[in-house]
Amino acid sequence: MLPADHQYLTYIKKAVRHRARQAGYKRIDPPIFEERSLFERSIGSHTDIVEKELFSVGRKGDPESSDYALRPEFTAGICRSYIEQGMQELPQPVEFYAIGPCFRYDRPQKGRYRQFHQFDFEVIGLSDPSIDAQLIHVLIKIFDDLKILDRLTLQINNIGAPADRITYVQALKDYFTGKERNLPEQDRERLKHNPLRLFDSKEEDTQILLKLAPTLEQFIGEDSNKYHSTLLEYLQELGISFTKNPGLVRGLDYYNQTVFEFWDSSTGAQNAVGGGGRLDFLIEQLGGKSTPAVGFAVGMERVMWHMQEAGVVAPNKDQVDVFVAQLGPEAKKKCLNLVSQLRDLGVHTVGALGEASLKSQMRLADRFQARYTLLLGQLEVKEGTVILRDMAAGKQKQIPFDKAIPEVLKLIGKANLDVYSITDKFGEFADPGEG
Count, in order, helices (H) and strands (E) of the chain. Answer: 15, 16
Report, in Å, the least distance between residue 11 CB and ligand AMP.
17
Q: Which is nearer to ligand AMP, 71 or 80 (CB)?
A: 71
d(CA 176, CA 181): 10
Task: Report in angstroms the alpha-carbon separations of 413 from 163, 227, 343, 418.
Answer: 64, 54, 14, 11
Under rule CB under 6 A, residue 151 binds ligand AMP: no
Under rule CB under 6 A, residue 288 binds ligand AMP: no
Can you tell me which of 25, 82, 96, 116 binds ligand AMP, judged by CB under 6 A? 116
Count the neighbouring beta carbons within 10 Å of the beta carbon of residue 277.
27
Is residue 390 classed as helix, strand or coil in its secondary structure?
Answer: strand
Torsional sign, CA 101, 105, 109, 110: negative
Applying CB under 6 A, which part among 62-70, 91-99, 106-114, 351-359 lies near ligand AMP?
106-114
d(CA 372, CA 341): 16
Q: Which is nearer to ligand AMP, 11 or 262 (CB)?
A: 262
Report, in Å, the least distance between residue 64 CB and ligand AMP.
26
Report, in Å, the least distance between residue 262 CB and ligand AMP.
8
Amino acid residing at 316: N
Can you tell me which of 42, 47, 118, 157 binds ligand AMP, judged by CB under 6 A? 118
d(CA 373, CA 391): 7
Count the neighbouring beta carbons within 10 Å of the beta carbon of residue 378.
13
Task: Report in angstroms the alpha-carbon separations of 276 from 132, 395, 402.
Answer: 10, 57, 59
Can you tell me which of 113, 175, 242, 401 binds ligand AMP, judged by CB under 6 A? 113
d(CA 400, CA 112): 57
Can you tell me which of 272, 325, 331, 347 binds ligand AMP, judged by CB under 6 A? 272
Question: Scanning residues 64 to 103, which ones bind ligand AMP (CB under 6 A)?
Answer: 73
Can you tell me which of 30, 129, 274, 295 binds ligand AMP, judged by CB under 6 A? 274
Interface mask toward ligand AMP for 301-340; x: CB under 6 A: xx--------------------------------------
Q: Which is nearer to ligand AMP, 73 or 380 (CB)?
A: 73
Contact, 318 vs 349, CB < 8 A? no
Interface mask toward ligand AMP for 355-374; x: CB under 6 A: --------------------
Can you tell me which of 93, 299, 351, 377 binds ligand AMP, judged by CB under 6 A? 299
Q: Which is nearer to ligand AMP, 74 or 234 (CB)?
A: 74
Report, in Å, the least distance between residue 303 CB and ligand AMP.
8
d(CA 177, CA 263): 33
Applying CB under 6 A, which part among 113-121, 284-292, 350-358, 415-423 lies near ligand AMP?
113-121
d(CA 349, CA 417): 11
Q: Which is nearer to ligand AMP, 51 or 431 (CB)?
A: 51
Residues with Cβ within 8 Å of residue 204, at least 6 apart in sequence: none
Residues with Cβ within 8 Å of residue 336, at least 6 apart in sequence: 351, 353
Under rule CB under 6 A, residue 5 binds ligand AMP: no
Interface ranges with ligand AMP (CB under 6 A)? 73, 104, 106, 111-113, 116, 118, 272-275, 297-299, 301-302
